[in-house]
Structure 1
Amino acid sequence: MPERRRLAALACALAVDMFGSGLFLPVSLLYFTEVADLPLSTAGLLLSAAAIASLPVPMIVGHVAHRFRSLDRVVLAQVMQGAAFLLYGWQHTAAGVLAVATLASIGQRLFWSSFFAVLAGLAAPGEDRRTTDRRFAVAGMIQMAATGVGTLLGGLVVVYGWYEPVIYLNAASFLLSAVLLLLVPRDRRAPAVAVPAGGYRAMLRDRPYLLLIAVNTIFALCSVFVGVAVPVYLVDGLPAPDWLVGPLLAATTVLLASGQALAVRLVRPLSRSRGLALSGGLWVIWALIFAAAVRVPSGILVAYLLAGMVFFAAADLIHAPLSNALSAAAAPPGQRDRYLAVYQYCFAFAGILAPGFFTVLYARGPAVPWLALAAVAAAGTVGMHLLDRPLTAREKSAADVGG
């Protein structure tokens, strides 16, 4: 029963957080240009600098994870982000925006470096893999659904120019999420204060886990590539109607918000690493389909692109829950929080790499980024196949110890 109460409170906190973040997403740059009166190029550089400044956070979290409960770190992250968005309303200089954006970015990194450790900590000793995977799938579905609803409402904000209210609503969502997290029942046991044996040196010698991080960085690049590349490709690279961008991404969001539990059930006969290899193969197909779109007749292009996005959605549906579950299962029990914090660099690096990867290659031809992505995803798929034996053995060993 306490585990169900924890999961319910976590689900509510995550939904509130993601709704506010989704609401802010469509106006993230427009706010700084329309309200803070900063040039678009300056605003973009400031946000990029803030993101880079927050890169050390997962390493720091991993270093102190054994001293502070992961749930307490998540609460702190929400308070930091809520405070940052409250402060945004008073920032009209580049220096002020940079300071506040850095605070928000640090809070965001702290959240994602700690949240999955909270989810992993809900598992009972010897818990069945299906239960663990389903828990991560439910969290992913809540994240996508709440973000999608927020983004749709954020689109209306852009139409009516209600930028400042969105800032304060987003701040309120973070602070409300923190309050909900305070209602999550705590483990009565005090967190251990002894430094886990080996520290980062042990992690650097853990080649299977390091390779898992490298492969998942590739898969995370595939996941975020859709938001970076698809709008530009459809508008500038193909004879596709401009109105297609919104429905295409919206339909994908609906699939991702509703299908993760089903995807986990369908790939259950596979090991987690083989399931992730399958998602890599699906991303290869998706990238090749989009690369070939430049030669598709305009009369069937819309249907062709919609069919192609099914492969992206299928890949992401499998990847989202399994990657987080595998990263938790493959980490040594005594250092799980540390490993999961560092694992978040997959998504940080992917977010930094994606815009440059796309724009540099796009200058060489509209299909070039997609062909390059297919090649990279194929390498990741091979890498995940190579990891199947060591990671599956590690999962079974951990299950035997837990049981």
Structure 2
Amino acid sequence: MAVFRGKASEAGEAKVAGERSLLLGIGISAIGIGMYVPFSLVFFHHVTGLSFTLVGLVMTVTGVAGLAFMPLAGSAVDRFGAKRVNLVLYGIRALGFALYPFAGSLPAFAAVALVTALADRSFSVVQQSLIGEVARGAARDRLQASTRALQNAGMGAGALLVSGVLALWGTGAFTWTAWANSLAFALAGLLVGRVRPVPAERSGPSAGRPAAGYRMVLRDRPFLGLTAANFLTALGYSALSVLFPLYLSTWLAAPDSLTGAAFTLNTALCAGIGVLVAGRVRRSGARRTRSAALGALLFAAAFAGQIVLGTLRPGQSATLVALLVIVVVYTLGELVHSPSGGALSVSAAPEPVRGRYLATYQLSYSLATALARTLPKGEWWWKSAVLGTLNIGAFFPLLFLSAYRLPGGVAAVLGSAGPLFVVGLAALVLGERASLRTVLAAVVGAFGVSMVVLTADAALDLVGVVAGVVSSASMAAGTVMTKRWGRPEGVGPLAMTGWQLTAGGLVIIPVAALVEGAPPALDGDALLGYGYMMLINTGIAYWLWFRGIGQLSATSVTLLGPLSPLTAAVIGWAALGQALTPVQLVGMAIAFGATVAGQLAAARTPQSFSSSEKNDRNISMDLTDGRVRR
């Protein structure tokens, strides 16, 4: 019961008004989360009656949308205060789970899931901000440790509770657990509402004015460095649930039951001694930076121990003892790093823009968790690196180099020659025999694009021409090899897209740093544009592109390429008032006609599909079928 105390036992720690209510609310909320998170796909399938495919798709899309919403949650905290936003999020979650049993159609489920996902994804940002709002100094560390202990205990209790309910009353009890979740979130909100923030610390007349917004965060390089370091450490938090089971089964050939034992031990230690370990670290007088670094070193020691154990492979008894030590060391790293790292991020954030700072910091956890859940395995590490380099890492730098050095639309014409590269590579690698009509469609399409984009100031430059040709060849090779390799079993196009974007980004970052230096500070408009390019123009666009490669032949996909400059010309006419000449209009008609003709020609060629592509086709049928399986 020491967790629920109202006064700190250590001297110098200020009392937090309403601390017992705050922690009790966090514990009840964690029980609600534990009742559905371990069974989320099955939970929502039974509650709504929708198919597993539709539930999984909606959860993926709404989860991504929730990540994009986190910066807005940070802004809301700075504007309205963490406590108010926290109560709003509790209310949204309570309402969402109360409505889930009535969301039997796809639009209704998607709407409820979207609103609830926005609240779920943003909650960690708001809760961290609330700790900073109600506590100062060492009290923050204590609250961080108590919060983590209660979350582990609550989620474990919630999972056990729902398992018992299902064992007694079957899957029909999922509806009642949804309403129990709603009640838990509502009660948690009422309890948290009793906590009282401490007066704001003002260092100047403008201390409470968050005028700088995210520009201030992006200019704070020490904080961005802290966030980047936390991203690497956050991968360690996901290791027990993602990498440890794989390590046991593939490297040690150990029984799967050991995974459950490791989870149980980790949860019990976090719930039982988390506050004690954090208190011991706090009383030692260690700086937060050093204790956070110590936690990261303990993570590293646990991973090094796994490598040594997998290499030596001693007898069964020694292996079990070594695994026990590894899990204990890993858990100690978690217990030492979590309160110190969390309190460090809160303290490093200036009070007027704390919400924005913590939204940026919490993205490191969310991105690490999303990445760790679907890490490549085996040969897909190097395959993802190759595809990411061809489709993104080499393609984009060469494309922009060509565009800078070739004025007058020449770069776009070179890019429209990509289908010709794909036709040749598909014949060599995939055995796709292109008809004469397909080849003519590619040539005529490139000619039509040239009529649209070429201007009087067009000029040739050797470096630009080489860059344009190589960029087209790189994208063509990436398209063909994506078709050739398909996807590993059980991995969807969204995960494949993430692998390739990550690999391509890692190739581009050092090139951009060497050529252009550090990125400039971004204002609000630039951040909105950057967010649009990340989510819509890159993430969703590439997801659709790779999904299309799984559904169609490589030639069919690449013959859609000429539509890109045509779309740009139409947008320029509609949004910017740019005039289109008769020659451009004729060129657009030629390019569009060639695209349609190429698709018709490619459709007559029989296609074979790998197992992953057949899975894509089944998913597509699920999405287009008007009936919903129950």
TM-score class, shorter? 0.7 to 0.9
| Counterpart selection for 1:77 from 61, 65, 89 | 89
| Counterpart selection for 1:7 from 10, 19, 29 | 19
Matches within 5 A, 1:60-99: 60-99=72-111
| Counterpart selection for 1:173 from 176, 184, 199 | 184
Return the alpha-carbon distance in structure 2 between the equivalents of residues 316 and 174 of structure 1: 26
User: 1:75 is aligned with what amino acid?
Assistant: L
RMSD: 2.8
3-state SS of the aligned residue for 1:314? Answer: helix
| Counterpart selection for 1:144 from 132, 152, 156 | 152
User: 1:223 is aligned with what amino acid?
Assistant: Y
1:276 aligned residue:
292
2:553 aligned residue:
none
| Counterpart selection for 1:224 from 238, 250, 255 | 238
Once the two structures are TM-superposed, the CA of residue 292 in structure 1 deviates from its matched residue by: 4.4
Which range moves more in the overlay, 174-183 or 322-331? 174-183
User: 1:260 is aligned with what amino acid?
Assistant: G
- Whether the aligned pair in 2 keeps the contact of 1:66 and 1:193 (CA below 8 Å) is no
- Shift of the 154–361 alpha-carbon distance from structure 1 to 2, 3 Å rule, reads farther
- Shift of the 289–361 alpha-carbon distance from structure 1 to 2, 3 Å rule, reads farther
Work out the number of aligned pairs and report it.
Answer: 359
Return the alpha-carbon distance in structure 2 between the equivalents of residues 178 and 134 of structure 1: 21
2:337 aligned residue:
319
1:252 aligned residue:
266
- Whether the aligned pair in 2 keeps the contact of 1:282 and 1:315 (CA below 8 Å) is yes
Return the alpha-carbon distance in structure 1 between the equivalents of residues 88 and 310 of structure 2: 48
Matches within 5 A, 1:197-208: 197-208=211-222
Once the two structures are TM-superposed, the CA of residue 39 in structure 1 deviates from its matched residue by: 4.1
Once the two structures are TM-superposed, the CA of residue 164 in structure 1 deviates from its matched residue by: 1.9
| Counterpart selection for 1:304 from 322, 325, 338 | 322
Query: Is the radius of gyration larger for structure 1 or structure 2?
Result: 2
Once the two structures are TM-superposed, the CA of residue 294 in structure 1 deviates from its matched residue by: 3.9
- Whether the aligned pair in 1 keeps the contact of 2:16 and 2:139 (CA below 8 Å) is no
- Shift of the 27–94 alpha-carbon distance from structure 1 to 2, 3 Å rule, reads same
Once the two structures are TM-superposed, the CA of residue 253 in structure 1 deviates from its matched residue by: 0.6
Which range moves more in the overlay, 250-259 or 281-290? 281-290
Return the alpha-carbon distance in structure 2 between the equivalents of residues 4 and 360 of structure 1: 47
Matches within 5 A, 1:94-243: 94-124=106-136, 127=137, 130-159=138-167, 160-161=170-171, 162-185=173-196, 195-235=209-249, 238-243=252-257
1:18 aligned residue:
30
Which range moves more in the overlay, 298-307 or 75-84? 298-307
Deviations 1:3-53 (A, max 9, x none): 544211111110110011112123211123445444434433321211100
Deviations 1:164-196 (A, max 9, x none): 22111111111111122233346689x999641
Matches within 5 A, 1:10-49: 10-49=22-61
Q: Which has the higher contact order (CA 8 A, sep 6+)?
A: 1
User: 1:52 is aligned with what amino acid?
Assistant: V
3-state SS of the aligned residue for 2:291? Answer: helix
Once the two structures are TM-superposed, the CA of residue 80 in structure 1 deviates from its matched residue by: 0.7
- Whether the aligned pair in 2 keeps the contact of 1:66 and 1:195 (CA below 8 Å) is no
1:375 aligned residue:
none
User: 1:135 is aligned with what amino acid?
Assistant: L
Structure 2: tracts of 5 or more residues without a match: 1-5, 7-13, 383-630
- Shift of the 49–284 alpha-carbon distance from structure 1 to 2, 3 Å rule, reads same
Return the alpha-carbon distance in structure 2 between the equivalents of residues 362 and 70 of structure 1: 45
- The alignment's TM-score, normalised by the length of structure 2, stands at 0.53
- The alignment's TM-score, normalised by the length of structure 1, stands at 0.80
Once the two structures are TM-superposed, the CA of residue 297 in structure 1 deviates from its matched residue by: 4.4
User: 1:100 is aligned with what amino acid?
Assistant: V
- Shift of the 240–158 alpha-carbon distance from structure 1 to 2, 3 Å rule, reads farther
1:337 aligned residue:
355
2:68 aligned residue:
56
- Shift of the 315–164 alpha-carbon distance from structure 1 to 2, 3 Å rule, reads same
Return the alpha-carbon distance in structure 1 between the equivalents of residues 316 and 197 of structure 2: 58
Return the alpha-carbon distance in structure 1 between the equivalents of residues 289 and 301 of structure 2: 19
- Shift of the 259–184 alpha-carbon distance from structure 1 to 2, 3 Å rule, reads same
Once the two structures are TM-superposed, the CA of residue 235 in structure 1 deviates from its matched residue by: 4.7
Once the two structures are TM-superposed, the CA of residue 298 in structure 1 deviates from its matched residue by: 5.9
- Shift of the 328–158 alpha-carbon distance from structure 1 to 2, 3 Å rule, reads same
Once the two structures are TM-superposed, the CA of residue 264 in structure 1 deviates from its matched residue by: 2.4
- Whether the aligned pair in 2 keeps the contact of 1:220 and 1:350 (CA below 8 Å) is yes
- Shift of the 99–303 alpha-carbon distance from structure 1 to 2, 3 Å rule, reads farther
3-state SS of the aligned residue for 1:92? Answer: coil
3-state SS of the aligned residue for 1:344? Answer: helix
Return the alpha-carbon distance in structure 2 between the equivalents of residues 222 and 286 of structure 1: 10
2:372 aligned residue:
354
Once the two structures are TM-superposed, the CA of residue 269 in structure 1 deviates from its matched residue by: 3.5
Asked if 1:290 is matched to 2:298, the reply is: no
- Whether the aligned pair in 1 keeps the contact of 2:58 and 2:110 (CA below 8 Å) is yes
- Shift of the 274–97 alpha-carbon distance from structure 1 to 2, 3 Å rule, reads same
- Whether the aligned pair in 1 keeps the contact of 2:135 and 2:197 (CA below 8 Å) is no
3-state SS of the aligned residue for 1:360? Answer: coil
Return the alpha-carbon distance in structure 1 between the equivalents of residues 310 and 174 of structure 2: 37
- Shift of the 188–123 alpha-carbon distance from structure 1 to 2, 3 Å rule, reads closer
The percent identity for this pair of structures is: 28
- Shift of the 93–221 alpha-carbon distance from structure 1 to 2, 3 Å rule, reads farther
- Whether the aligned pair in 2 keeps the contact of 1:54 and 1:105 (CA below 8 Å) is yes
3-state SS of the aligned residue for 1:241? Answer: coil
2:346 aligned residue:
328
Return the alpha-carbon distance in structure 2 between the equivalents of residues 4 and 138 of structure 1: 13
2:416 aligned residue:
none
- Whether the aligned pair in 2 keeps the contact of 1:289 and 1:308 (CA below 8 Å) is yes
Return the alpha-carbon distance in structure 2 between the equivalents of residues 206 and 264 of structure 1: 28
Return the alpha-carbon distance in structure 1 between the equivalents of residues 244 and 98 of structure 2: 33
- Shift of the 173–149 alpha-carbon distance from structure 1 to 2, 3 Å rule, reads same
- Whether the aligned pair in 2 keeps the contact of 1:63 and 1:338 (CA below 8 Å) is yes
Once the two structures are TM-superposed, the CA of residue 134 in structure 1 deviates from its matched residue by: 1.8
